[in-house]
Structure 1
């Protein structure tokens, strides 16, 4: 359990490159309180906060040193991962960062670690390690010098990445067409400097606007500075005819700069303030106002009546009379149309009643027509009546003939005699 605690909850100081002189006697160093601590190492730190602060300070110092040594150096940023604390500090320090993938870059050579005699049991092993170290150091210095020459010639671009344990260097070859002289680089850097200043002001403005939008402003008295700012913006609505009133010259008619406006509002008289306020009010009363019947239109009418009563009354009277006459003619037409509509309805009603009457008489007329047709087609003896006594006798004769005989309702069966051949022969 004790070994697990040492391995999991302590940090090996040998894994860090910062100066550990103070750590050798620190109470948080496991070598100073662990009875089972083994020699040969720097120990393990049990104070994570102190260890992290020391490592961050070391990384920041190293990053600043490489940036100072190479004015063209660019730091590598991480687009999708979280920046460590040292990287955040360097970013806030204003150093340039670019999101570049390290697999597209070449690594700078790493300096070899010099062997320590205490690490070897045999002197001959140490001597061999020293010889190997010497060759590695010579190769490292040669490669570093070559890269330094290429960097001075502008043939490579150097990058630095701040890791968790050290600052690693990278480089990338630059095409000939992309190679820039120092003068060109200085010009680019000056342009970046100007742009950085602009960005700082833009971001400041953005955050201040958000602050004013979200935070409640105090209910304090309106200050002279606020009043000047108010008149500064009101001057945008000042009519050209009033420029002389506030001391503007002929040349100012064609452009009122912010600097000139700031100079004006710092020394306004009460009369000038009234002119500016009134022009500002006039501008908003007349802008997009198309009728005097609305709220804004009513305010405009009241404003005009207050300051120009006679002319305003003349305008009102002119259009009241003109369109009053037009409305009178329209009223006459409306009355005529109403009368015509009334007459049309009465005619329609009368016509409907007439049609109803005709519909009711139609069956009777049809019945008479049928009877008339029947009389026309009947036999003359039946339809013609005798006149006078003849008519009476004829009627009596018809009545007698009409009387049925007593046997009229009986059926008589008559027998046919058998044929006689001889008689028939004679007859033929």
Structure 2
């Protein structure tokens, strides 16, 4: 009986193997979407190349292997034949690997002809339906399909998912490793991970470090996902309502959270996710508003706080405008008078109450106009400075009183000096800007000459260089440079120095001159430089001789800055002077301007917008001549833009050995 059972079992096994072999021979004849079920040897099967996003834990695989060893594979895997007579897994790789681990020889499979695209789609759909993929694995799959050129709509259609589902999964691939690990270990929920993924990596890193890395008072672990989303939104989203630039384009922008599926539950306050665009629009708005205010009032001073945005200040400075940095807190400055709000009749049921409100409003308007007139008078007199303070999202008008300064005359008597008028202050500023221009030229040209000292040319000296030599040889070169010249017998007295100088070769003399002139340039004073400073003119000329490109760059850079500032200040000076002349003529005519209205000083009557024609019998008709204004020069001397001296200029030759004091006295 036992022998018969073994015989039957052997025949059955042979029958299965023969059926497998027979079916395998006919696999090549399969047509697409026609499946054949069969047992296939495990050593003839290759893993799927499309299952790179799937991770299988060792414990999970061992548990499945134990089940297969005891009960076998209950559900067929799917494979497709390959050109080399082998099979490639479409789905079921976990069962395949567990069967290998369980020591099985074959595995039940459905064989079907498929293209690469069909095989990958079949694999993904199978695992999605079985929920074998984690959210991160799904995200990596959808991201890969998107990178291959498939749109989100096409992904949704192929895999039967909604758009917000697909987008949220794709967004998970932007999680930083620390947050992704928390999701894998279930330290955070999937909903919290989705909120994390809405923000840039830098924000994710900051939130993780501050609120999830450690437990404690500031930990956000375990809070509801909605509360977590609100905290992130309030802290890190740039709400558009906080900005004052024109937000017309933002209404239809894809970076506006009101237009994004991921932020559909964030309320009705839109926020911008394109930080670069937002900052650019805000910066342009602040620059334009500052320029508009300055154009309307030439007495205005542009200013920023110590914590202000330097990028905006640099843009304005590049245009030639000066931007000062306030050295006090904003609470130390005087705010611009606030215009009272007129009463709205709709807010009053009683006529008497409305009339009382109107009377109060008129009184407040009177006080407002008086305050404005007083401030404007002080600004015009120079006793009050008017600032346009560029803040993070707005430009504010603030005022600061100017205190009298104290100076001492020659006999030691102290006296008070009244503040300068706005025009005088701007002229002083213009003169100082010219000094700054040449201070920077002085400093930067020294750097050019210093960096070029290692490659001094040995060509023949020009006649102009000989003249420079007479100017600078009274200063000594350093001992290091003397050694570079090959001079060793160099005594302390002037006779020995003269002997060494007389026995130098022409090449040594050439190098000596250039080293001496460089040393002289190092000692030129770098502050309060004037346009006609002889030392700077000569240093400039020397730089143009031997380092023309670097010298030209220095001159162009700093002169360009000065010219822009000069043009801006000249415009403001003219506007102030024209306004002062107009006020003088009005004063002669007995007309004053109070809070924007022209008033007859004798009668208090408010006049029309235009000045009345003067009676020829009373006083001559006022004219507004444009008197020619002489060109301003900060000091006597040549044009500050002339760097080269006249062709017939000859510096006196100074004999070698003459004392520096003698040259300076001469």
Q: Which TM-score tier does this pair reach, normalised by the shorter chain? A: 0.3 to 0.5
Q: Which is greater in Rg?
A: 1
Task: Report the TM-score when normalising by structure 2.
Answer: 0.30
Task: Report the TM-score when normalising by structure 1.
Answer: 0.44
Relative to total residues, which structure has the larger strand share, 1 or 2? 2
